[in-house]
Amino acid sequence: MNKKLRWVMITCVIVLMTVIWIWQPWRAVPKKTHSGPAATRVSLENVVHTILATGKVMPQVGAEVKVGTRISGRLEKLYVNVGDTVKKGQIIAEIEKEELEATKSEKEAEVALIVARLEALKREGPQEIAQKEAELAERKARLEFVRGKLSRDDQLLKKALISNENWEEVSSDYKAAQAQYDVAQRKLQLANTSFDEGLKQLAAELRRAQASHKNALVKLSYAAIHAPLSGVVGSVSTREGETVAAGLSAPTFVTIVDLKRLQLDAYVDEVDIGKVEVGQKAFFSVDAFPNKEFHGRVTAIYPQAVIQNDVVTYDCIISIDTHYDGLLRPQMTATVSIMVANRENVLVLPVGAVKHRAGQNMVLRRNGDRIEEVSVTTGWQDDTRIEILSGLSEGEIVLLSQPTDFKQ
């Protein structure tokens, strides 16, 4: 009997423990909490107002040059190809120059001939002038002798010491001597004039021949085409053996781009262009390097609009201050942000905390256990934050949504 009672008691204890384990009356039942609407504090922050634009990486003015020829002829040598790096002054192509060299030699011969004629004139002209001067001196001496004799015969004729025939003979000699002296004078003047005119004429011919020779040298220099700047060959449009004809516009051989002189052309919508000014900071990224940010400044704003698909934009030139050698290339598309305003230590709230009611901006401020509606004056705003000019102070708590039991 005692043994049977013991098994009954053990069974009851097991059943009781099982019931207690299932119910677990000692576990605390969690209380339901009623969380209120989300709130935030008014904070002082530095805010930057940016506008977004699309853009393209482009060469600066003068950083992309189309190289051509100024003379006609057959392209004899082409020393570069697309992608080659060239230095300023390097020969990149040559035009056939046999005819140009022949013209140069011809002009050199003309110059040499005129120089020889000029040297001969400088040597022979003074000799001829000296000869004419000696002849004039001789005629002058003869004239002086005959004049003296005629003067003496005049005195003798008055005293009847000579006959009229003798006097007339001496007078005739005087007239002949005078004529010969005048002729000698004119010959000397003519020799001097001829020498001076000859020098002037040959000097003019020499200058003209030298100019022609210089022109021939210049044309010959055009046969060798030099790189006007250092950079990379972007395109080649002419091949060896092709004949080019230089006209009003020089035919393009190659295009050279200086990849170290790039800029960003940002196309700003007409709605935002009034906020953009020269000197404002900007940053952008390109699809090739999405995780790298390039910085720069607005350096120019084109006055002429760019219209594409009825969308009006304005081209803003942005310098690139970040090192970009080997990264950026012309025509890369960029996403641009221009910093049009930068404010420090201003009161800000999330945009959703400010409600518009009856023409006013209102917020719900928590004051202890009470919630009150406050009118505020707002300023700058972006997609997430809004500036509070008046109505709130730093640190005050503002609700982001209206409680269900709130009464205006």
3-state secondary structure 333-380: EEEEEEEEEEEEEEEEEEHHHCEEECCEEEEEEEECCEEEEEEEEEEE
Of residues 217 and 39, which shows the higher confidence score?
217
Residues 6+ away with beta carbon under 8 Å from 135:
184, 187, 188
C-alpha span between 394 and 44 (Å, rounded):
7
Q: Tens of pLDDT along 218-228?
A: 999 989 999 99
Q: Are residues 236 and 153 in the same domain?
A: no
Q: Are residues 116 and 148 in the same domain?
A: yes
Residues 6+ away with beta carbon under 8 Å from 268:
51, 53, 276, 313, 314, 316, 338
Q: Are residues 148 and 210 in the same domain?
A: yes
Q: Are residues 111 and 172 in the same domain?
A: yes
pLDDT of residue 346 exceeding 60 = yes
Domain annotation covers residue 26: no
pLDDT of residue 384 exceeding 90 = no
Q: Are residues 136 and 90 in the same domain?
A: no
Q: Are residues 119 and 235 in the same domain?
A: no
Q: Are residues 175 and 284 in the same domain?
A: no
- CATH code for position 369: 2.40.30.170
Domain annotation covers residue 177: yes
* Across 139-143, 148-152, 274-278, least confident range: 148-152
Q: Residue 28 has what pLDDT?
A: 45
Domain annotation covers residue 134: yes
- Average pLDDT rounded to a whole number, residues 240-254: 73
Q: What angle do CA 133, 139, 145 make, to 5 degrees?
A: 140
Domain total for the chain? 3
Q: Residue 26 has what pLDDT?
A: 46
Q: How confident is the model at residue 24 (pLDDT cuts 50, 70, 90)?
A: low
Domain annotation covers residue 27: no
C-alpha span between 385 and 279 (Å, rounded):
25
Q: Residue 31 has what pLDDT?
A: 44
Q: Are residues 217 and 227 in the same domain?
A: no
Q: Residue 60 has what pLDDT?
A: 93
* pTM score: 0.60
Q: Are residues 343 and 326 in the same domain?
A: yes
Q: What is the largest CA-CA distance in the chain?
A: 221
Q: How confident is the model at residue 23 (pLDDT cuts 50, 70, 90)?
A: low
- CATH code for position 81: 2.40.50.100
Q: Residue 30 has what pLDDT?
A: 45
Q: Are residues 242 and 388 in the same domain?
A: no
Domain annotation covers residue 34: no
Q: Residue 32 has what pLDDT?
A: 42
For residue 384, the enclosing domain spans: 51-58+258-399
DSSP 8-state symbol, 275:
G
